[in-house]
Amino acid sequence: MTRPAACGGRGYWQQRADVVVIGTGVAGLVAALAAHRSGRKVVVLSKAGNTATFYAQGGIAVVLPDALREDGDSVDAHVADTLAAGAGLCDPDAVRSIVADGYRAVRDLVDDGARFDEAVPGRWSLTREGGHSQRRIIHAGGDATGAEVQRALDGAAARLDIRRNHVALELLHDAGAVTGVLTLNEDGLGIVHAPSVILATGGLGHLYTATTNPEGSTGDGVALAMWAGLAVADLEFIQFHPTMLFDGRAGGRRPLITEAVRGEGAVLVDAQGNSVTAGVHPMGDLAPRDVVAGAVDARMVATGDPCVYLDARGIKGFRKRFPTVTAACEAAGIDPTRQPIPVVPGAHYSCGGVITDVDGRTELAGLFAAGEVARTGMHGANRLASNSLLEGLVVGGRAGKAAAAHALTAGPSMAQLPEPTTRRALPRAELQQAMTRYASVVRDGDGLRSLAQGLDAAMPRALNSRTDFEDVALTTAAGAVAAAASARHESRGCHHRSDFPETDPAQAVAAPLVSDARSLIPAVVCG
């Protein structure tokens, strides 16, 4: 690393790579490994400790090859389930491309050291989750799948150049092509020059007061892409997981009670013991997440209770099958084998993001995105459970290869230090309260207008620290969610408008957004 080098009186460090990967979750590390194995010099940046990948519980949805299957599952069935959950907004070709490549990507992960639970030696144990018509979810450590995925990838990537505590602040580009990443570390500002950059920055759960996401999920990738002039889409579709542990704490990351608990027979009831989902959907407690989250939200409104309950007392061997859930419950003073678990819906997953193709390519030459930050068309208006690790594995690997190939043809790049920028931010607590009040499980036009007015009060903030940057990124991402939710005058997937409760067939199209330099609320791209 060269540092500091004078530039217009400002010192900054510099680094060179063929491919820069931003993020060390499933998408980032799979991409980095693929680029490295293609012979390119890779630098990986990560700002935070734990990733969302680490916390994933339920598993990875994957269709096994015929020879390894005993049931009637097929790529067609998995595609059909994904399209049904996506409520008319998935790109069917993208879904098929990713689902059909799933087993290969999982085998690569096994080659990198991941071990999944087996029903009998040599045969993976398969579970079922909401919206899946078949048992096709592989898992590890019972309900610690993400920890195993992360452990395996961290091990495989140990030989890579991984820079922790490095915050990507800005995507640098020139003449329609990416040239590097402006980065902040303990030495101050620096540039990693590279002709290929892969955004793998994960989600944006911390837009809300309470979320299942780790502290680093602050919408950075969406903001970075929008500041670079790229379009984002489907950001109105934020998935609220129906069963986040209600432990009485005010906010921040809260434990998830994986959907697989319902897959194994647990039922959602209110304080009177009445089913929460009876009569709501033919699949009952295993209906798609938006349906179950909406039912939980409606029951809490109707009863005035602060939570509903997940009764898992009938599941045999609960502690062994769900050690992570058991530990989280016990830490909150709840024994899930003897008492129903109090749960509420919590901000969990961003179905939308930076628009890419199924190889992670964005519209800016050399810029790729994969994982939760990307919008490939896989999830549409609602992600099917356990499809995100799958997408991260498949598209992460493809993006790594494509970025490596691009770097080879583009050759070395030279990025320029940009002029200092101030962007606008709301104080985080204020932003989270406004988002939780106006853009949660159920929204309406008046609330979204209030949200937009609140965002207008955001004040300029210099980017002197990770917190400054995250507040700015959150505020930009909130503007995009507000714009997307305001523009969609219907209810579809995980976007529920109380003033437009019906689904409107005429609106079965994605509405890309581009940022407007004058406003925090981006414009919808028409046509």
Element (H, E) at 100: helix 92-100
Q: Which residues pair with 238 in a beta bridge?
A: 350
For ligand FAD, give the closer residue by CB, 383 or 497.
383
Q: Of the candidates 227, 349, 368, 500, which one interacts with ligand FAD according to CB under 6 A?
A: 349
Residues 6+ apart with CB under 8 A from 337: 312, 313, 318, 319, 326
Q: Does 33 bind ligand FAD (CB under 6 A)?
A: no
Q: Distance between CA atoms of 273 and 310, rounded to whole angstroms? A: 10
Closer CB to ligand FAD, 26 or 64, in the complex: 26
Q: Tell which one of 12, 14, 17, 25 touches ligand FAD (CB under 6 A).
A: 25
Beta strands in 107-187 (DSSP E): 118-120, 123-124, 126-127, 137-138, 161-164, 167-174, 177-185
201 sits near ligand FAD (criterion: CB under 6 A): yes
The reply on whether position 56 binds ligand FAD by CB under 6 A is yes
Total residues at interface with ligand FAD (CB under 6 A): 43
Least separation in angstroms between CB 118 and ligand FAD: 18
**Alpha-carbon Rg for the chain in angstroms:** 22
Within 8 A by CB and 6+ apart from 350, the residues are 203, 204, 205, 219, 222, 235, 237, 238, 239, 372, 373
| β partners of residue 211 | 253, 347
Q: Which of 202, 353, 397, 493 binds ligand FAD (CB under 6 A)?
A: 202
Q: How far is the CB of 503 from ligand FAD (least distance, A)?
A: 25
Do the beta carbons of residue 470 and residue 220 sit within 8 Å?
yes
Q: Alpha helices, DSSP H only, in 137-275?
A: 145-156, 220-227, 260-263
- Contact segment (CB under 6 A) with ligand FAD among 46-54, 288-296, 310-318, 400-408 equals 46-54
Burial readout 245-269 (b: 16 or more C-beta within 10 A, e: otherwise): bbbeeeeebbbbbbbbbbbbebbbb
Binding test (CB under 6 A) with ligand FAD, winner from 17, 18, 23, 397: 23
* Helical ranges in 101-219 per DSSP H: 102-111, 145-156
Among the listed ranges 261-269, 289-297, 366-374, 455-463, the one in contact with ligand FAD (CB under 6 A) is 366-374
Q: Tell me which of 52, 269, 293, 344 binds ligand FAD, using CB under 6 A.
A: 52
Provide the residue type at 527 as one letter. Answer: G
The beta-strand segments (E) located in 325-447 are 341-350, 353-355, 367-369, 374-375, 422-425, 442-443
CA distances from residue 85 to 95, 266, 356, 440 in whole angstroms, order as listed: 12, 21, 20, 19
- Residue 13: phi and psi, rounded to 5, are -90, 160
Smaller CB distance to ligand FAD: residue 209 or 491? 209
CB of 437 to ligand FAD, least distance (A): 22
Note whether 57 binds ligand FAD by CB under 6 A: yes
Residue from the set 14, 179, 209, 213 that interacts with ligand FAD by CB under 6 A? 213
Nearer to ligand FAD, 208 or 500 (CB): 208
Q: How far is the CB of 511 from ligand FAD (least distance, A)?
A: 22
One of 212, 382, 486, 491 touching ligand FAD (CB under 6 A): 212
Each residue 439-478 as x (binds ligand FAD by CB under 6 A) or -, in order, gives ----------------------------------------
Candidates 55, 116, 246, 322; binder of ligand FAD (CB under 6 A) is 55
Judging by DSSP bridges, how do beta strands 459-462 and 367-369 pair with one another? unpaired
The nearest distance, CB 88 to ligand FAD, in angstroms, is 22
Phi, psi of 21 (to 5 degrees): -110, 130
**Min. distance of Cβ 408 from ligand FAD in angstroms?**
24
**Plot region of 234 (φ>0 → left; ψ -120 to 50 → alpha; else → beta):** left
The residue (of 91 and 170) whose beta carbon lies closer to ligand FAD is: 170
Segment lying near ligand FAD (by CB under 6 A), choices 113-121, 171-179, 208-216, 308-316:
208-216
Query: Residue 457 contacts by C-beta under 8 Å, 6 or more apart in sequence?
Result: 426
Q: Are 53 and 25 in contact (CB under 8 A)?
A: yes
Q: Does 256 bind ligand FAD (CB under 6 A)?
A: yes
Which SS3 state, helix, strand or coil, does residue 203 take?
coil
* Contact with ligand FAD (CB under 6 A) among 81, 247, 372, 468: 372
Residue for token pair 């790229």: 230
What are φ and ψ of residue 279, in 5° steps?
Answer: 80, 0
289 is annotated as an active-site residue: yes
**Residue of closest CB approach to ligand FAD:** 25
Of 11-19, 198-206, 308-316, 408-416, the window that binds ligand FAD (rule: CB under 6 A) is: 198-206
Q: Which residue among 12, 14, 21, 59 contacts ligand FAD (CB under 6 A)?
A: 59
- Our finding on whether 189 is near ligand FAD (CB under 6 A) is no
In this chain, which of 14, 15, 53, 179 binds ligand FAD, going by CB under 6 A?
Answer: 53
Residue 200 as a binder of ligand FAD (CB under 6 A): the answer is yes
438 is a contact residue toward ligand FAD (CB under 6 A) = no
- 146 binding ligand FAD? (CB under 6 A): yes
**Distances from the Cα of 254 to the Cα of 55, 72, 295, 430, angstroms:** 11, 36, 20, 19
Say if CB 323 and CB 142 are below 8 A apart: yes
**Residue among 289, 299, 443, 492 flagged as catalytic:** 289
Least distance to ligand FAD from the beta carbon of 99, Å?
13
- Cβ at position 177, least distance to ligand FAD in Å: 21
Helix/strand number for the chain, H first, E second: 15, 30
Instruction: List residues binding ligand FAD (CB under 6 A).
Output: 22-28, 45-48, 51-53, 55-60, 145-146, 166-168, 200-202, 212-213, 216-217, 220, 256, 349, 371-373, 386-389, 392
User: Which residues have a catalytic role annotated?
Assistant: 289
